[in-house]
Amino acid sequence: MSLLLTTTNKSRIFLSPPHMSGKELKYIKGAFESNWIAPLGPNVDAFEKEIADYLGVNDAVAVSSGTAAIHLALSLLGVEKGDTVFCSSLTFVASANPILYQGAEPVFIDSEPDTWNMSPEALEKALMESELDRRLPKAVIVVNLYGQSAKMDEITSLCDDYGIPLIEDAAESLGSTYKGKASGSFGEMGIFSFNGNKIITTSGGGMLVSDNSEWMKKARFLATQARDPALHYQHSKLGYNYRLSNILAGVGRGQLEVLDERVEARRQIFNRYYEELAHLPGISFMPELMNTKSNRWLTAFTVDDSISGVSAKSILKNLTEENIEARPVWKPLHMQPLFEGCDNYPHRENENISESLFHQGICLPSGSSMSETELLRVINSVKNTLKIKV
C-alpha cells in the first residue's frame, strides 16, 4: 500500500477525471457494426465536421493528440532548424515540445495578470527586438490557460503587424469564448486536446482547426504518412501517423453532445469555490476577462502568504494528505531544465508574472462529475489549512 493511502481512508478526488455521458456508446457501436475499426471512417469525418461547425471554422482535422496537432501546425508553417517560435511560458510542456521536434528554438513569453496568459507587452518587446536582430519568429503559439482566453485583440493585432502566423493552443479552452467568438478560432490555426483530463475526452486525441482549407488538406496528407496519390506506396515528403481512430472519434461525438453542459458544470464548481474561499485573506481567484467566457476547465487561485500566513505549498500538502489531487499552477517552461538557455521575455522589467503564479498558484479538483460532498471536502481542507473555522 502506498504512503499516500495510509494517511487517510477517504476515497480519492481527482483533479479532472473523464466524465462519460452514455451517448458515446451508440457511436462506438456504429463503428463495430460497420467494421470501421481504423484511423479513418464515418465517425472521424462526422467528428471533424461537428467540431468545425461548433467553432464556426471552415475545417478540422482529427488527430491522435493535441501535441500532434501542434506539430502538424508547425510543419505546415515550414518551421525548421534555425527558426525560432514564440510560445507562452506558463503552460504544459506539450505546447512547446513540437518546436523542438522541428529542430527550432522556442522563445518564451511571460503572462500578464488579467488573464494569466501571454503578455501583449512582452510579446511586443520580443517582436521588436527580433526584428532588429533580423530574426523574426516563424510562428507564435498562444495558450488559453485553464479555459481562459488570452488577450486576443492585442495579440492578433501584433502578429498581423509583424506578419507572423498565430497558432492558438486551445487544448484547455474548448467551449470558451472571447467577445462571443469560439476559443481556438482566432489564430491561423487552432488546436484542441481530448486527453483523459480535458473538458471532453476521447481517452486520447486532438484536433487541428483552420479557415484555410488548403492547409487542412495538407494536414490530412501529412498525418497519414504523406502518401502520394499512387496505387503503389509512393512518398516524396516526410509524414506522420497522426490520425484519430474511428472508435475514439465516436467517443468524441458523444462527448461533444454534452460539451455545453460540461462547461456549465465546471463554471458552477468554480462559483462554489469562489463563494466559499474568495473572501479569505490573501486568496485571489484566476480572473475572467471582460467579454470573455472561460470554460473554467480547472479552478485556480493564488495565495499571498504575506497576508494569509500560509503558503500554497502547505495547502497543497494538506490536500494531498487527504487524498485530494490538487496541483501547483504549471511550472513556467522558461524554468524547465529541458529549455535551459532559451530566451524569455518577462511581462515587465523585474516583473515576471508566470513565476509568481507558479509559486503562489493552486489548481483545485474541477471535474464536471464532482459531488457536493467532494467539493466540501476540498473546501474544508483549504479552510483548515488557513485555520479558518469550518
Ligand X SMILES: *Cc1c(COP(=O)(O)O)cnc(C)c1O
Shortest distance in whole angstroms from residue 244 CB to ligand X: 11
Task: Determine if 354 is a binding residue for ligand X (CB under 6 A).
Answer: no
Are 331 and 63 within 8 A, CB to CB? no
Under the binding rule (CB under 6 A), the answer on residue 95 touching ligand X is yes
**Is residue 92 close enough to count as binding ligand X by CB under 6 A?**
yes
Exposed/middle/buried for 230, CB within 10 Å: 0-12, 13-18, 19+?
exposed
Binding mask 46-85 for ligand X (x = CB under 6 A): -------------------xxx------------------
User: Which C-beta is closer to ligand X: that of 27 or that of 92?
Assistant: 92
Query: Per rule CB under 6 A, is residue 329 in the interface with ligand X?
Result: no
Give the one residue of 89, 91, 130, 201 binding ligand X; rule: CB under 6 A. Answer: 91
Sole window of 167-175, 247-255, 258-266, 381-389 interacting with ligand X (rule: CB under 6 A): 167-175
Write down the least CB distance from residue 192 to ligand X, Å.
8
Of 316 and 363, the one with the shorter C-beta distance to ligand X is 363
> Of 48, 59, 105, 172, which one interacts with ligand X (CB under 6 A)?
172
When binding is defined by CB under 6 A, the residue of 193, 292, 352, 360 that contacts ligand X is: 193
Residue with cell 518551421: 79
Q: Among residues 137, 142, 152, 131, which one has the least CA distance to residue 102?
A: 137
Using rule CB under 6 A, residue 206 touches ligand X = yes
- Grid coordinates standing for 215? 492547409
User: Between residues 41 and 98, which has the closer beta carbon with respect to ligand X?
Assistant: 98
Q: Which is nearer to ligand X, 175 or 206 (CB)?
A: 206
- Rg of the Cα atoms in the chain: 21
Residue bearing cell 497522426: 242
CA dist., res. 284 & res. 302, Å (int): 5
Ramachandran angles phi, psi of 331, nearest 5°:
-75, 125
Rounded to a whole number of angstroms, the minimum distance from the CB of residue 149 to ligand X is 13
Helix axis angle for 312-321 and 372-385, nearest 10°, is 130
Asked if residue 119 binds ligand X (CB under 6 A), the reply is no
* Edge-to-edge strand ranges of the sheet holding 206-210: 59-63, 206-210, 189-193, 166-169, 139-143, 84-88, 105-109, 344-345
State the residue number with the nearest CB to ligand X. 66
> Which residue in this structure is represented by grid cell 469562489?
274
The answer to whether the beta carbons of residues 61 and 242 sit under 8 Å apart is no
Minimum CB distance to ligand X, residue 172 (Å): 5
Strand (E) or helix (H) holding 143:
strand 139-143
For ligand X, the closer CB: 67 or 295: 67
Three-class secondary structure of residue 69 per DSSP: helix
Applying the rule CB under 6 A, the residues between 17 and 46 that interact with ligand X are none
Residue 320 beta carbon to ligand X: minimum distance, rounded to whole angstroms: 21
Cβ neighbours of residue 71 closer than 8 Å, sequence gap 6 or more: 98, 101, 102, 240, 242
Provide the binding-site residues for ligand X, judged by CB under 6 A: 65-67, 91-92, 94-95, 143, 169, 171-172, 193, 195, 206
